[in-house]
Amino acid sequence: MLTRRAAVSLLAGCLTLVASSLPVAAQNAGRLKVVATFSILGDMVRNVGGERVEVATLVGPNGDAHVYSPTPADGRRLTEARIVFTNGLKFEGWIDRLVKSSGTKAVKVEAAKGVKPLKSEDEGHGHGHDHGGADPHAWQSIGNAKIYVANIRDALIAADEAGKATYEANAASYLKQLDEVEAEVKGLVVKIPPERRRIITSHDAFRYFEEAYGIDFVAPQGVSTESEASAKDVARIIQQIKREKIAAIFVENVSDARLMERISKETGARIGSQVYSDALSEAGGPAGTYIDMMRHNIRAFSAALSS
Ligand SMILES: [Zn+2]
């Protein structure tokens, strides 16, 4: 005679077996289909939605959502979706046109709704940002990520009332993990000597991080990631690093290692490891999830700034 508990686990085992032998399309039947515009947001939606939700991410790992060109497949994903999650703050300049051309009936939800926007200082350089004044990189503060999670949870409940308890439980557990990472970030910043909390980055994407955690990020003056730095640009960066006593350099999308080595040699600023601002790494990489990304970045900053 089976105990009730054993019977339940036996039944669960059978269900798993049945599910895994079905084609993927059948497994996904009945799941709430949603779209997230970029990888960081897609990861958050997956965490809150869990098994009830099928998430299609438009701009994948290592992709640049600022300058994305949608494909016909993206249009089809939108047509099938019940919700389209966007960052908002004019991060995805291409999304409105895509929504319109797809004819989707999906609800559009801006995950950043309710965050206190910082003013963008990214005019005249950067990589083609046009944010109409607001800096869109709000997820770089974990406090803001918690607002994203609440917005995602509420939108999923509105679209799928039967999943309310699941979405609430998933969100609560994810928010707890976010609290833990935030405590780790703050703990590592405190250990960096205050006068060393200055970093230079090519892409001005860390201002919410700066505001929340107190590391200064300085963008190199007059350098675009879309063109190669001239000798004059390099000289100016070197002067800037010396003048502003910047301890470490983090540069994205710069393939010329010699340039960075030269700048590092002439200034004594240390070159940090690759950091992630607008996109996750491939799954299993150093920043395969939002939480791993935040953890990876603070460890990289901390390693380069601590003497
Ligand atoms: Zn950006």
Cα–Cα distance for residue pair 150/171, rounded to 1 Å: 7
- Find out whether 232 and 247 touch, Cβ atoms under 8 Å: no
Name the pTM for this structure.
0.84
Q: Which helix (H) or strand (E) holds 36?
A: strand 32-38
- Find out whether 130 and 167 touch, Cβ atoms under 8 Å: no
**Ligand 1 mean position to 162 CA, how many Å?**
36
**Ligand 1 mean position to 278 CA, how many Å?**
5
The CATH number of domain 184-305 is 3.40.50.300: no
**Ligand 1 mean position to 256 CA, how many Å?**
20
Partner residues linked to 250 by β-bridges: 201
Q: What are phi and psi of 296, to 5 degrees?
A: -60, -45
Q: How far apart are the first and last CA of the chain?
A: 66
The H helix count followed by the E strand count for the chain is: 11, 8
**Ligand 1 mean position to 68 CA, how many Å?**
12
Give me the residue spans of the domains in the chain. 21-178, 184-305
Cα-trace Rg, the chain:
22
**Ligand 1 mean position to 60 CA, how many Å?**
14
pLDDT at 97: 96
Local confidence pLDDT in tens for the 307 residues of the chain: 444 444 444 444 434 444 444 555 555 668 999 999 999 999 999 999 999 999 999 999 988 898 899 999 999 999 999 999 999 999 999 999 999 999 999 999 999 999 999 988 654 434 444 445 899 999 999 999 999 999 999 999 999 999 999 999 999 999 999 999 999 999 999 999 999 999 887 677 899 999 999 999 887 665 554 556 677 878 888 888 889 888 888 865 444 567 777 888 888 888 888 889 999 999 999 999 999 999 999 999 999 898 6
pLDDT at 257: 61
Architecture of domain 21-178: 3-Layer(aba) Sandwich (3.40)
Identical fold for domains 21-178 and 184-305, yes or no, is yes
